[in-house]
Amino acid sequence: MKRWIAAAAALVAVCGCNPQPAHAPAASASPAAAQTGAPALNITGRGTRNNPVRIAAQNGNRKVYQLVTNAYTSHSAQNVTQAQFAHPTVTFFAKDGTKLTATAPSAGVRSGKQVVLTGGVHATTSSGLTLTCDTLTYDQTTEMLDGEGHVRITGDQGGAQQLLTGSHFKSDVKLTNMVIN
């Protein structure tokens, strides 16, 4: 028994184990780090023309959107992540397979559930409707779009070109169930 105690004491001395109480953590660079004990995480990335960055979101087994960009930055702190994308192309997928493909100077993803395109949005559905607006928000939970500022939707209906304008709209991805004001 005495040999075991001596061996344990030697192991403690060699390993540098120190049973002293832990010291208070040092001041952190961000409030999130102080609350969670982890520092904020900032990530910057770049793709290329032949190999862009691709991000896809799904509801169950169905893809609801895909974002393609050449540059992004991401900031994560305290279980909240926000990402910014430069000159993205975002394709939204309706349940029936209809697509809405949108481009804008920038986009952001908030908490993984909302995609916000800003700076002048241009979009086209696979059925031929076109949409322009200043800001477009897609909510993955409801699969609905909200558009703000200089809203303009054009398309062919009954053989005639139709134009809808307003300052705000709410619609599904197909741009068929829509409210414009």
Judged against a pLDDT cut of 80, whether residue 54 lies above it is answered with yes
Q: Where are the domains of the chain?
A: 40-180
Establish how many alpha carbons lie within 13 A of residue 74's alpha carbon, considering only the half-sphere containing its beta carbon.
14
CATH numeric code, 40-180: 2.60.450.10
141's CB contacts (< 8 A; 6+ apart) are: 113
Instruction: Compute the distance between CA of residue 128 and CA of residue 174 in angstroms, rounded to an integer.
Output: 10
Judged against a pLDDT cut of 50, whether residue 176 lies above it is answered with yes
> pLDDT category, 79, cuts 50, 70, 90?
low
Computed over every residue of the chain, the mean pLDDT equals: 80
Instruction: Compute the distance between CA of residue 130 and CA of residue 155 in angstroms, rounded to an integer.
Output: 6
Question: pLDDT per residue over 1-51, tens digit each?
Answer: 333 333 333 323 333 333 333 333 444 444 444 455 667 778 888 888 888
Can you give the pLDDT at residue 147? 97
CA angle, corner 36, sides to 76 and 140, nearest 5?
40
Instruction: Compute the distance between CA of residue 146 and CA of residue 171 in angstroms, rounded to an integer.
Output: 7
Can you give the pLDDT at residue 136? 98
Q: How far is residue 122 from each of residues 46, 116, 132, 147, 169, measured CA to CA in Å?
A: 23, 13, 5, 11, 14
* Mean pLDDT value across residues 122-147: 95
